[in-house]
Amino acid sequence: MTATRTPRALPFVLAAAIAGISVSGPLARLSGAAPLAIAAWRLTLALTIIGIIVAVTGAWREWRALARRDLAVAALAGAMLALHFWSWIASLEYTTVAASVVLVNLHPVVIVAGSALVLGERPTARQLAGLAIAMGGAALVGYGDTTPGRIAPDALRGDLLAVVGALTVGVYYTAGRALRQRLSLWAYVALVYGACLACVLTLAAVTRVPLWPQPAREWPIFAGIAIGPMLLGHTGFNWSLRYVPAYVVSLAILAEPVGATVLAWLHPAIAETPGHWTLGGGAVILAGLVLGTVDWSRSEPRAADAE
């Protein structure tokens, strides 16, 4: 494998991924299915498409070169993604879409620490400053959700679940950054999403969550979550992990709360009007995002062969 420069398409891929993942919260809120059922079907539908791509391109052959340690990392990443899906989707039952998506995006703290300790990727001073500002914005939104008059009556439980989702997805992206260097995009996502689905199905069996049958109204929601957040969002971020450190991708994801909040506000079936704390915190998050990602091109290229 030879190093290449950061692709010019990187900012556009990240922007598309942010747009895709921003619909996840509103769609999950519209669903009446159990969190594990939503996770299971989004993964199943996405993996159906990914499986065809892997079979046609022959990307599955890359798995032959993986060591046991690589497979263990893939299993860990899949398990963390499964726990992320469960905890974050469950949080939407108790707190607002705005608070949930903001708190689940606290994962840069985990990723920065993990990338520095495990991968040796230390953030620049500018990226650390952007991280601190963005985290401050997240704290403002979370604080506003705990004040009297909030929309959700049992917000604390939902907030805690969202924080669990942040911790687990932080481990997921950090582990994925290491494995992504040795696998092309489709070989990587097929392996990790497959491990994630296995974990979700196991959790559903243990907790006796019914996956089938589902009402007809749920299938468009499942398909939307599979195409937008899963294929466009998570897969776009996983593509980016080959070219930039995990904390850069993590900072980019901090734009999700803004998009999700706007969608939840505009959708008539949700109609969650963001409060002053949410709007102010969202503005601070965007400021941190701009500051922390302005020097993308200065990240050391770690890309392997072109895909």
Structural domains counted in the chain: 1
pLDDT at 81: 93
Is 302 a domain residue? no
Is 27 a domain residue? yes
Query: For residues 4 and 78, which has the higher predicted lDDT (pLDDT)?
Result: 78
Domain membership of residue 84 as a residue range: 10-297
Work out the average pLDDT over 188-211: 94
Is 178 a domain residue? yes
303: confidence class by pLDDT, cuts 50, 70, 90: very low
CB-based contact 251:130 (threshold 8 Å): yes
Is 124 a domain residue? yes
- Tens-digit pLDDT profile for residues 31-58: 889 999 999 999 999 999 999 999 999 9
Is 303 a domain residue? no
Nearest to 295 by CA among 129, 85, 87, 96: 129
Work out the average pLDDT over 56-80: 92
**Cis bond upstream, residue 215 (ω within 30):** no
When mean pLDDT is compared across 26-35, 79-88, 114-123, 281-290, the lowest value belongs to 114-123
pLDDT at 299: 44
Residue 27 has pLDDT above 70, yes or no: yes
The mean of the pLDDT values for the chain is 81
Is 244 a domain residue? yes
Q: What percent of the chain has pLDDT over 70?
A: 86
Is 1 a domain residue? no
294: confidence class by pLDDT, cuts 50, 70, 90: low
CA 298 to chain centre: 24
Query: For residues 27 and 96, which has the higher predicted lDDT (pLDDT)?
Result: 27
